[in-house]
């Protein structure tokens, strides 16, 4: 007989990890193309609120998902416009995107705070009280499996396809990729919007499944953890996924620690992901002499005349 | 076929930042109006109420100026660090750390002379902010670790620490449901200048001039600019770039820490999670919008302080207080558009 507490912890870990991983994977794609987008928190918020409002009004979960993903993607195109087309500072633009996203979503969602959701995201397994590890995995909803599929697709694209290598080339060396004849502006813009779409999906998972309700600033710093995850994972999809599981585990563990008889404050457990990321970042930088796996051109605007 | 390329203008208009800011403000109020209109509010009515309740009386004006203090101080700190081309996204954490350091000293030290005590508490706030950026500064200057990420992460670490303290060792048993540390004694409150205006604003004026002098007039400011430029130039000029960058980061963090200390001594009077409501992030907008100029940060800080106060009062007529934040963010976005046309020109290149 497996401990029910353990199964609950596993279940919570998987859900928290899914949320973090999808947003991190989107950010990874944008950063591979050389675009640092600090607006993840804002994009998740926008996806979360638009998806939730659609779900409440139409009771159609598929439509809600589409609206959430699209609106977050359109919202992220603001970052694309300012950084790719107007060549403005990526740090500034991304930060305002976060501030704008959080405030805008709070304003849009004002009259939806506290409303109850009647529809649920589809699950394969019917078990409400999973009794084994397998049942925990089977009782996850569709977005969990979708995140695994996305992991496989994105890994495949970056490892095996020319298309992926081209995106990587843009993030690594603007001059060379320009002389190769790659359309840098277009690739960077699209990568930014794809990153936004992923953040939107993560936002939908937040309001339609993980919590599920809407309230102000409910992203609660998860967008920043997603940013940290990309670094933690060394800009590699699979390592990012493991990182998501670890960070998800820490998030799930926090409120449960006392039931296991530990005296550590759950508030301190909550900050461990951030501490771990800083340590990993510093250690990686020292060990690899500055080569943390970061694309070399993150944050550098591209000019045609930079030949 | 013609091709168009972007090229950076060699000379830019001196007043370009100012014009961009004005245009950005115009755009922001336009966007704000649309949002209000969509929510079936009369934009003119809302905006005039915002103006009336943020600068209309001596009382409300002093509220606005008080609100400007953390924005200005943190913004100045960000601008000093940006002189060496580094970003400080961690002002929010440094504000909290300033307040935490202040409270730590307050609990453990007793000084009879309240003026001296206030002075020491303010200094401990400054040092708390510096301490908060110490790790990112060391990581950056010793190993080259990206400071954007590390300063950002410290925000969450310090915020977590704040939650831990006010729920645990510092929890005031008298504050029942709202976790917060105990109130400080009235004797160490910052004195009031007039109406509700805190003397923290005078400190703020002083530090604006200090930052201006430091950045524009002093030898250190010259070293900052060289250190932020190319490594070779710094080498020729005999300037130790890394040391200069390290000191700049500690000073910049201290400015934000001081903001937290003043906020505690003049507004909240205790450590709680509500001590800073995103001031550190808004300060980044303030600093960026002025092109990192201290006097500009002072003026825009006051305007944004008034906007924040205006935003909080329109809640009474059912408009979300987030309107102020939307206007602040849109101002910078609008300004960036105009900045683009001041800084770049689109050239036509004829292909063979």
Picking from B104, B257, B111, B260, the residue whose alpha carbon sits closest to that of residue B188 is B111
Per the CB < 8 A criterion, the answer to whether A96 and B285 are in contact is yes
The length of chain A is 307
Q: Sorting pLDDT into bands at 50, 70 and 90, what band is A307? A: very low
DSSP conformation class of A301: P
Please judge whether A87 and B149 are an interchain contact, meaning their C-beta atoms are less than 8 angstroms apart: no
| A68 vs A62: CA distance, rounded Å | 10
Tell me the C-alpha distance between B27 and B49, whole Å.
Answer: 19
Helices (H), chain B: 16-38, 43-55, 58-82, 91-108, 114-138, 147-167, 200-212, 219-228, 231-236, 241-263, 279-289, 294-313, 322-343
Low-confidence ranges of chain B (pLDDT < 70): 1-3, 12-13, 350-352
Domains, chain A, with CATH or none: 4-287 (1.10.3470)
* Closest alpha carbon within chain B to A288: B143
Q: pLDDT tier at A1 (50, 70, 90 boundaries)?
A: very low
Q: pTM of the entire structure?
A: 0.90
Taking contacts as CB-CB distances below 8 angstroms, the residues of chain B near A78 are 333
Residue A42 or A255, more confident:
A42
Helix H or strand E segment including A151: helix A142-160
Alpha-carbon gap, residue B118 to A209, rounded angstroms:
50
R_g of chain B, CA atoms, integer Å: 22
Cβ of B333 within 8 Å of Cβ of A228? The answer is: no
Output phi, psi for B154, to 5 deg: -65, -30
Q: Which chain B residues are Cβ-neighbours of A303 within 8 angstroms?
A: 5-8
CB < 8 Å to A290, chain B: 143-144
Highest mean predicted confidence (pLDDT) among A21-35, A202-216, A248-262, B181-195? A21-35
Q: Does A283 touch chain B (CB under 8 A)?
A: no
Sort out which chain A residues have CB atoms less than 8 A from B149's CB and list them: 227-228, 231, 277, 281
The answer to whether B111 and B120 have CB atoms below 8 angstroms apart is yes
CB contacts < 8 A (A, B): 130
Q: How far apart are CA A119 and CA A60, in angstroms?
A: 8
Nearest to B333 among A96, A282, A303 (CB): A96
Contact between A96 and B144 using a beta-carbon 8 Å cutoff: no
Tell me how close the Cα of A223 comes to any Cα of chain B, in angstroms: 11
pLDDT for position A253? 81
The C-alpha angle with vertex A291 and arms to A286 and A293, in degrees rounded to 5, equals 125
Among the listed ranges A21-35, A123-137, A223-237, A263-277, which one has the minimum average pLDDT value?
A123-137
Determine, for residues B332 and A92 on separate chains, whether the beta-carbon distance falls below 8 Å: yes
CB-closest option in A86, A271, A303 to B160: A271
Predicted local distance difference test score (pLDDT) of residue A292: 67
What string of DSSP letters covers A55-81? HHHH--HHHHHHHHHHHHHHHHHHHHI
High-pLDDT (> 90) share of chain A, %: 36
Please indicate whether, in this complex, the C-beta atoms of B149 and A281 are within 8 angstroms of each other. yes
Burial of B281 (0-12, 13-18, 19+ CB in 10 A): buried
Q: B6: nearest CA in chain A?
A: A303
pLDDT (0 to 100) of residue B12: 67
Mean pLDDT, chain A, rounded, equals 85
Predicted confidence at residue B275, as pLDDT, reads 92
Task: Take residue B243 and report the two structure tokens written for it.
Answer: 């040391």
- Residues B300, B283: Cα–Cα separation, whole Å: 10
Residue of A nearest to B318 (CA): A110
Is residue A103's pLDDT more than 80? yes
Across A102-134, b (16+ Cβ under 10 Å) vs e yields bbbbbbbbbebeeeebeeebebeeeeeebeeee
ipTM of the complex: 0.84
By the CB < 8 Å criterion, does A263 face chain B?
no
**Domain B42-318 carries which CATH code?**
1.10.3470
**Token code pair at residue A277:** 């990321």
Query: Chain B contacts of A100, Cβ < 8 Å?
Result: 325-326, 329-330, 333
Q: Quick check: B325 and A103 CB within 8 A?
A: yes
* Residue A190, both tokens: 């699209």
């Amino acid at each position: 007989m497996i401990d029910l507490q353990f199964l609950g912890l596993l279940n919570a870990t998987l859900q928290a990890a899914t949320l973090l991983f999808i947003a991190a994977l989107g950010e990874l794609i944008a950063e591979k193309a050389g675009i640092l987008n600090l607006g993840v928190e804002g994009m998740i918020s926008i996806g979360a609120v638009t998806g939730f409002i659609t779900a409440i009004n139409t009771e159609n979960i598929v439509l809600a998902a589409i609206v959430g993903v699209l609106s977050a993607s359109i919202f992220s195109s603001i970052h694309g416009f300012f950084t790719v087309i107007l060549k403005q500072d990526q740090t500034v633009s991304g930060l305002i995107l976060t501030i704008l996203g959080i405030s805008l979503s709070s304003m849009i969602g004002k009259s939806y705070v506290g409303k109850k959701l009647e529809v649920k995201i589809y699950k394969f397994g019917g078990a409400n009280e999973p009794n084994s590890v397998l049942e925990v995995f089977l009782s996850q909803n569709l977005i969990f499996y979708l995140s695994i599929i996305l992991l496989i697709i994105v890994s495949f694209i970056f490892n095996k396809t020319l298309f992926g290598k081209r995106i990587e080339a843009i993030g690594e060396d603007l001059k060379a990729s320009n002389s190769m004849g790659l359309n840098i502006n277009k690739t960077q813009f699209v990568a930014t919007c794809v990153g936004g779409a992923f953040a939107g999906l993560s936002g939908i998972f937040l309001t339609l499944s993980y919590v599920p309700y809407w309230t102000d600033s409910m992203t609660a710093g998860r967008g920043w953890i997603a940013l940290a995850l990309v670094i933690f994972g060394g800009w590699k999809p699979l390592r990012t996924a493991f990182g998501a599981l670890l960070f998800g585990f820490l998030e799930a563990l926090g409120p449960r620690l006392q039931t296991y008889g530990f005296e550590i404050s759950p508030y301190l457990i909550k900050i461990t992901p951030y501490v771990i990321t800083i340590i990993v970042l510093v250690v990686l930088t020292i060990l690899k002499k500055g080569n943390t796996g970061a694309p070399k051109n993150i944050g550098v605007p591209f000019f045609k005349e930079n030949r | 076929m013609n091709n168009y390329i972007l090229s950076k203008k060699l000379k830019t208009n001196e007043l370009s930042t100012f014009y961009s800011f004005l245009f950005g403000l115009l755009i922001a109020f336009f966007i704000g109006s649309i949002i209000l209109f969509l929510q079936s509010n009369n934009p003119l009515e809302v905006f005039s109420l915002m103006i009336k309740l943020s600068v209309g009386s001596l009382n409300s004006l002093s509220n606005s100026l008080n609100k400007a203090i953390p924005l200005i101080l943190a913004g100045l700190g960000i601008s000093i660090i940006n002189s060496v081309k580094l970003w400080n996204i961690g002002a929010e954490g440094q504000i909290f750390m300033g307040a935490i350091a202040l409270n730590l000293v307050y609990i453990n030290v007793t000084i009879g002379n309240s003026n001296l005590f206030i002075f020491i508490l303010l200094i401990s706030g400054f040092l708390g902010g510096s301490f908060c950026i110490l790790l990112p500064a060391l990581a950056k200057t010793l190993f080259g670790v990206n400071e954007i990420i590390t300063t950002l992460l410290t925000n969450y670490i310090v915020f977590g620490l704040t939650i831990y303290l006010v729920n645990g060792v510092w929890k005031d048993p008298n504050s029942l449901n709202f976790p917060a540390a105990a109130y400080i004694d009235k004797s160490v409150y910052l004195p009031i200048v007039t109406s509700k205006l805190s003397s923290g604003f005078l400190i703020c004026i002083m530090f604006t001039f200090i930052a201006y002098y430091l950045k524009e007039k002093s030898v250190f400011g010259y070293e900052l600019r060289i250190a932020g430029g190319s490594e070779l130039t710094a080498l020729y000029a005999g300037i130790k770039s890394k040391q200069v960058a390290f000191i700049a980061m500690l000073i910049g963090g201290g400015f934000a820490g001081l903001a937290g200390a003043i906020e505690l001594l003049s507004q909240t009077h205790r450590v709680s999670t509500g001590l800073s409501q995103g001031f550190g992030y808004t300060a980044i907008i303030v600093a960026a919008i002025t092109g990192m100029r201290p006097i500009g940060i002072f003026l825009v800080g006051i305007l944004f302080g008034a906007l924040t106060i205006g935003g909080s009062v329109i809640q009474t007529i059912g408009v979300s207080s987030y309107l102020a934040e939307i206007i602040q963010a849109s101002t910078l976005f609008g300004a960036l558009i105009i900045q683009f046309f001041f800084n770049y020109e689109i050239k036509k290149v004829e292909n063979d």
